[in-house]
Amino acid sequence: MKAMTIEEKCIDTIRCLAMDAVQKANSGHPGTPMALAPAAFVLWTEHLRYNPRKPDWFNRDRFVLSNGHASMLQYAVLHLTGYDISLDDIKAFRQWGSNTPGHPEYRLTPGIETTTGPLGQGIMTAVGMAMAEAHLAAIFNKDDIKIIDHHTYVFCSDGDLMEGASHEAASVAGHLGLGKLICLYDNNHITIEGNTSLTYSDDVAKRFEAYHWHVQDLGDQGNDLKAISDAFAAAKAVTDKPSMILLRTHIGYGAPHKQDTPEAHGSPLGADEIKLTKEFYGWPPDEDFLVPEDVRVYMKKVIEQGKDTEQSWDKLKEAYQNKYPAEYALLQQYVAQELPDGWDKDVPVYKPEDGPKATREISSAFLHAVADKLPWLLGGSGDLEPSTLTLIKSSGYFSKEHYENRNIAWGIREHVMCAASSGLQLHGGVRAYAATFFIFTDYARPAIRLACIMELPVIYVMTHDSIGLGEDGTTHQPVEHLASLRAMPHLCVIRPADANEAAWAWHTAIARAKGPTMLVLTRQKLPIADSSKTGSARGLQQGAYILSKEKGDKPALILIATGSEVQLALEAQQKLWEEDIDARVVSMPSWELFREQTENYRQQVLPPAVKARVAIEAGSPEGWEQWIGEKGVMIGLTHFGSSAPAKELFKHYGFTVDNVLEKSRKLLQHEKVDRV
């Protein structure tokens, strides 16, 4: 091994671990870790505040690898700095059961703050983390004690900045003046298909300056440790703007035949090329996964530094507790987010005489009833608050002048709204909700999916749930969305039938601590079920319940419905009784909650012996066969909607009492024939 400084040796250790792990896995991305190793080394040894022995201490800096394909960069650094990632874990990169997957995954690997991979998602999520820090700092910091005081760092790539989602992130962060957000852009000019000049000629510096960011362009100084460190220091000194550091690097640095080529991006370098690259570094060419002892000693110094950093904060926290006991107790509430006794006592209960109400209206009433008791709840809408009705009336809008406020005006930016809501949740100390029209989950789907993968309890409030929104027409009528979102693992979808079910839907969402909840709410007003004659709306918590029981011991027919179509089922039941057909009505607001119930409960609601079942939902019938069985009938939509008043649309597409009756009669007639 040639003579080199200990810093150079540490950096080359990172590079070689990345090369060797990708080669052993026979898949992965070695080039970017090789290029960014100097920047990562500088950040982890000089600027990032963390404790490897306690990765989740609250006032740590957050780091997000938005270009998640470069995961071996992060794993190598985490291993060297003392996180619970062994050399065997590095060797098991991308293998079954390992904690070093192809892209970083939250909760799986110590030190990973968020799951990344789809480009652009990381930088958007980081915006939410920075917002959470700013919000808590504004509420709890004092002139003499800054109890919340940390940065969010992001590494991002050409791909991140090409994705349109990053524009939303940059716009929001610049508008809000998030000075604790620092991004380093790895400008390596290479994507999978070739040089970025094929598709990309943005002036990134001017772009981010236009978004009101502090921008530093370091040029071709990817290996200049002082220049990189000075840039991080300068970024930290700017407190009223997010910072972007542009750094020209060389993908696959040191690989004699593959540096600055697409081949270094997404494939192993090959054994021969790795040997030549190690020779270029002055590294033993035949040694794999080598971590020199002096590198271990040097890098482990951060373990003690991390302990000292956290202990210093612990002392600060103790001083804060002594001087500001009320604020300290409140901070503990924000972090723990335990629901206090009586938090829901002021949630209104609705009666039929209150008149029909759109289920979206209940968001406003619910938030008004609980906001003061759940001060850590915050969120907002994608420029649709007058329609989604999700304003916390006791607070103003979150802004760079008032980070303490709880209402977030996301603008027309559904991508960043949902990704940053995940960031708020990941940061801790807040509970996030995000609202828009149900149709616009199409824009937010990648972020919603990542929240599901991470099982984050973000609350999505989606209004204008069906063809019931009427005249806005086909483009705004979500026909296939219930089916597609029910197919997403870990997402709890709830479509309530009236005001009381909507209140319980919100209640359920607040109480859920694992996985996102999506409330799917109507634009149109719906009558309120008479609880003296029907089952309690509290049954929503079980996902499905008997809303209106049959008159005899066993139903001849079960009508199952969700949302606005439950009223059709209730009206049809009355007509069927007049025909001596003993029907049961089941309200089924949430498939996911119903699946969580015991088999005994599920069979009480949907007795297996009753094969005659009619489901009614103004959406795609996909998936309903599991509830109605082979002989059941589904009244749904297998086509897009149209522009017309809602009542006309429901009538035209068969969502009428007469059609429910006709389908029920035919089904029962077939049942008789089958029995004969």
Residues 497 and 567: beta-carbon distance below 8 Å: yes
- Beta-carbon contacts of residue 628 (< 8 Å; ≥ 6 apart): 560, 613, 614, 615, 634
Distance from first CA to last CA of the chain, Å, rounded?
88
Residues 570 and 585: beta-carbon distance below 8 Å: yes
* HEC per residue, 525-580: EECCCCCCCCCCHHHHHHCCEEEECCCCCCCCEEEEECHHHHHHHHHHHHHHHHCC
Task: In whole angstroms, give the CA distance from residue 600 to residue 56.
Answer: 41
Residues 640 and 479: beta-carbon distance below 8 Å: yes
Q: Is the dihedral of CA 80, 85, 87, 89 positive or negative?
A: negative
CA distances from 285 to 290, 361, 434 (A): 10, 68, 53
- Beta-carbon contacts of residue 370 (< 8 Å; ≥ 6 apart): 343, 344, 346, 347, 377, 510
414 assigned to active site: yes
Task: In whole angstroms, give the CA distance from residue 262 to residue 256.
Answer: 14
- Output the CA torsion 125→128→132→134 (10° steps): 120
Residues 231 and 160: beta-carbon distance below 8 Å: no
Among candidate residues 385, 414, 592, 617, the one labeled active-site is 414
CA distances from 338 to 19, 129, 431, 459, 654 (A): 45, 21, 11, 16, 46
Residue type, 113: E
Q: Which residues of 235-250 are buried (b: 16+ CB within 10 A; e: fewer)?
A: beeeeebbbbbbbbbb
**What secondary structure does DSSP assign to 194-229, as a single string?**
EEGGGT----HHHHHHHTT-EEEE--S-TT-HHHHH
Task: In whole angstroms, give the CA distance from residue 289 to residue 76.
Answer: 10
**Residue written as tokens 């540490």?**
10
Tokens found for residue 188? 């390596």
Residues 186 and 252: beta-carbon distance below 8 Å: no
CA distances from 69 to 113, 153, 264, 527 (A): 15, 17, 12, 51
Residues 555 and 610: beta-carbon distance below 8 Å: yes
Residue type, 57: W
* HEC per residue, 283-340: CCCCCCCCCCHHHHHHHCHHHHHHHHHHHHHHHHHHHHHHHCHHHHHHHHHHHHCCCC
Q: Is the dihedral of CA 178, 184, 187, 192 positive or negative?
A: negative
**Residue written as tokens 């696959």?**
252
Edge-first strand listing for the sheet containing 633-635: 545-548, 583-587, 557-561, 613-616, 633-635
Estimate the crossing angle of helix 361-370 against helix 499-511, to 10 degrees: 50
Tokens found for residue 26? 């026979």
Strand partners, 396: none
List residues with catalytic annotation. Answer: 414
